Amino acid sequence: MAIELSNLMERSLSMLSSDHKSVVSMNLFVALLCACIVIGHLLEENRWMNESITALIIGLCTGIVILLTTNGTSSHVLMFSEDLFFIYLLPPIIFNAGFQVKKKQFFRNFMTIMLFGAVGTLISFVIISAGAVHFFKQMNIGTLKIGDYLAIGAIFAATDSVCTLQVLNQDETPLLYSLVFGEGVVNDATSVVLFNAIQSFDLSHINLSIALKFVGSFFYLFIASTMLGVIAGLLSAFIIKKLYMGRHSTDREVALMILMAYLSYMLAELFYLSGILTVFFCGIVMSHYTWHNVTESSRVTTKHAFATLSFVAEIFIFLYVGMDALDIEKWRVVRDSLPVQAIPSCMGTPS
């Protein structure tokens, strides 16, 4: 009995210690987020500095300090999981992008945006996949399946236009901003849809039938994801208009808009669609229909609430990216994955 009680106390102490470490990490990370916002505000007049760049630099400096204090074992305050990014951080960023977009400019240049975002991504995908096949064989990295090369092409075909948009002013250069912004969103969605389509097929023995199924799967994911977002946005507008929730409480209107947007993203993930495309078009439809059916106070609240959630999520990501740049384990993996003969053989010279 005494031994069991002792074991129970040891477990409790270890759990308390673990919880305390998590609390300390969260406190430090929230303090860093506050520092990013304050310093970013102070540097607002600087053309080359903003909250995103500030968060990267602060994350990098914090990573160096943690790396020195832990004797080179870690550079992180928090462990960043895939679920944290895809379930909690990405939806508010993409939704706010669709919610705040200038729809007239976006749809006026829709064909140009689709040309850059969809067709351009497909061209990049083909070139990068072909380049991966050639260079990986030259570098003697190992034998990969054709699906692996295509997956690499889909991943590297995705470009991030967040930093570019930070230095552009939507009011001063509306056309350029609209093209860059629209291309960035469609590019990300196209890359995700491509990657999901690649994962759905065994491309080791490709033929005409599989190629047609692959193309059909791509268009199905693209169209179904878009339609799901449009339906979710229209449904929220219909519910709020018919029930007129604002006469009793504006909180219900705001809560319903947030939850319906998040539900559209989670439904897309549930049905193996593109959550990015779904929540983006849900934001566009909500800003055009749902937003005009709520009360004036709810309009102000939702506009600022979505922008704030997106802003904090972006700062969180950039701050962590700065820390992650010094991840020792990742650099070891990169070093170990490249043989000594890789660079000479890639250059075509004898090792």
Tokens 């983006």 map to which residue?
A: 280
For residue 343, the model assigns a pLDDT of: 45
DSSP 43: T
Please choose, from the candidates 67, 62, 59, 65, the residue with its C-alpha nearest in 3D space to the C-alpha of residue 315. Answer: 59
The predicted-structure confidence for 266-312, as pLDDT tens digits, reads as follows 999 899 888 888 998 999 999 999 998 898 888 999 999 999 999 99
Q: pTM of the prediction?
A: 0.81
* Domains in the chain: boundaries: 26-71
Between 102 and 165, the more confident residue is: 102
DSSP state, residue 78: S
Distances (CA, A) of 67 to 62, 139, 329: 8, 32, 12
Report the C-alpha gap between 35 and 56 in whole angstroms.
12
Q: In whole angstroms, what is the distance from residue 314 CA to residue 309 CA?
A: 9
Q: What is the DSSP letter of 75?
A: -
- d(C-alpha 351, C-alpha 137), whole Å: 15
pLDDT band of residue 342 (cuts 50, 70, 90) is very low
Q: Express the helix, strand and coil content of the chain in percent, nearest 5 each.
A: 80, 0, 20
**Helix 174-199 crosses helix 120-138 at what angle (to 10 degrees)?**
50
145: Cβ contacts below 8 Å, ≥ 6 apart: 203, 204
User: Could you read off the pLDDT of 215-251 as tens digits, one per residue?
Assistant: 888 888 889 999 999 999 999 999 998 888 777 778 8
* Closest to 314 (Cα-Cα) out of 36, 117, 111, 125: 36
* 76: number of Cβ within 10 Å: 19
Instruction: Give the pLDDT band (50/70/90) at residue 334.
Output: low
How far apart are alpha carbons 340 and 140 in whole angstroms? 10
Cα–Cα distance measured from residue 236 to residue 242, given in angstroms and rounded to the nearest whole number:
10
pLDDT at 138 over 90: no
| Distance in angstroms (rounded) separating the CA atoms of residues 49 and 167 | 9
